[in-house]
Amino acid sequence: MTGKIALIPGDGIGPEIVAEAKKVLDTVAKKYGHEFEYETLLMGGCSIDAYGEPLTEESLEKAKASDAVLLGAVGGNVGNSRWYQVAPNLRPEAGLLKIRKGLGLFANIRPAKLFSQLKDACPLKPEIIGDGFDIVMMRELTGGVYFGEHKTEEIDGIRKSTDIMAYDENEIKRIAVKAFEVARKRGKNVTSVDKANVLDTSRLWRAVVDEVAKDYPDVTVKHMLVDNCAMQLVMNPRQFDVILTENMFGDILSDEASMITGSIGMLSSASLGAGKLGLYEPSHGSAPDIAGKGIANPIATILSAAMLLRYSFDLDEEAKAVETAVEEVLKAGYRTIDIMSEGMTQVGTVSMGDLIAEKI
């Protein structure tokens, strides 16, 4: 097949890790006889430097015209970077919101998998971890409080802020359908997370999820309150297969889920819309503290490229080949600094990319 991939390396370690993911995609193309065409676009701080805004309309249009987008990370040192001395809608991360909205990406899929080779990195007790866990977080990405009305006013000398959380049934239905589709190909188990004891949006969420569930009799569904879910994730993470939740709850829970795997440098993500076009990126940020040192872990981005092959190009065998190569390299004892432990061989960003490409 032929595919058009927009590469958005971004800031910080972004360019370093995207280069390794591209190396892996090139290897897949060569081995399986595909042709990937790349276009590199600017987003984040590097786009602010070049054009004065985090994502230009032209770049957004080019992303829309591609089959898939592979992103590194955007943003810099929030405390002391010139990129943050401007209005919120001109800061690096505004590019992220703009591209998600612009591409209509309403479903964020983040696997939280504890690799058996990295059990030592997991902060949970061995009896809780068991043989490891493999959870997929499905977070609604373009609705809820992040996209509701925000305002701050002063009434009788008292400052007051309002953020509105809203969902309509169609927004809930489309993400629920994606979650059940993903669950059907995995453990056939959806846990829908809400705050239905307090929020109307959550009561609607629950009702719509139950309606969608009727079309998936092979998948079991359970509802859980978000505070309980936060607790269950550290008490008994193995009970979960697919966790389905709204935007803000998903933001928080996916960070929690990623941390119990012990390694932010390993976690991939996909953001999908109604069609095949998706945005693929590691779960971590631009890591300004280690940028330019050649030590960043490229695996999260490489696994994101595997998701790209699976969800945008339907190349399941190729995606599995990448995932297997990553496991093999870990099995052989190679580690970047963030996942390094005693007796293992420490390698840098480029070597890790080379090793994975070689295994493919």
Footprint of ligand NAI on this chain (CB under 6 A)? 13, 73-76, 78, 93, 96, 264-265, 281, 284-290, 296-297, 300, 338
From the list Mg ion, ligand NAI, none, pick the one residue 196 interacts with, judged by a Cβ distance below 5 to 8 Å according to partner type.
none
Tell me which residue has its CB nearest to Mg ion: 251
Of 136 and 299, which has the nearer Cβ to ligand NAI? Answer: 299
Residue 218 Cβ, how far from ligand NAI at the closest point, in Å?
A: 34
Q: Looking at the annotation, which residues are catalytic?
A: 146, 195, 227, 251, 255
Q: Is the dihedral of CA 116, 336, 120, 224 positive or negative?
A: negative
Residue 56 Cβ, how far from ligand NAI at the closest point, in Å?
A: 17
Burial class (CB in 10 A: 0-12, 13-18, 19+), 218: exposed
From the list ligand NAI, Mg ion, none, pick the one residue 68 interacts with, judged by a Cβ distance below 5 to 8 Å according to partner type.
none
Q: Please give the residues from 112 up to 151 whose contact with Mg ion meets the rule CB under 5 A.
A: none
Of 216 and 249, which has the nearer Cβ to Mg ion? Answer: 249
Residue 110, annotated as binding a ligand? yes
Residue 139, annotated as binding a ligand? yes
Name residues whose C-beta falls within 8 Å of residue 103's C-beta, 6 or more positions apart in sequence: 63, 64, 69, 271, 273, 277, 279
Residue 81 Cβ, how far from ligand NAI at the closest point, in Å?
A: 8
Return the SS3 of 103. coil
Of 3 and 95, which has the nearer Cβ to Mg ion? Answer: 95
Of 18 and 179, which has the nearer Cβ to ligand NAI? Answer: 18
3-state helix, strand, coil split of the chain in percent (to 5) is 45, 20, 35
> Phi then psi for 114, rounded to 5 degrees?
-95, 110
- Distance from C-alpha of 243 to C-alpha of 310, rounded to nearest angstrom: 20
Residue 212: beta bridge partners? none
* 87 close to 27: Cβ distance less than 8 angstroms: no
* 144 close to 247: Cβ distance less than 8 angstroms: yes
Residue 218, annotated as binding a ligand? no
Residue 251, annotated as binding a ligand? yes
Contact track, Mg ion, 227-266, x by CB under 5 A: ------------------------x---------------
Residue 206 Cβ, how far from ligand NAI at the closest point, in Å?
A: 29
Residue 257, annotated as binding a ligand? no
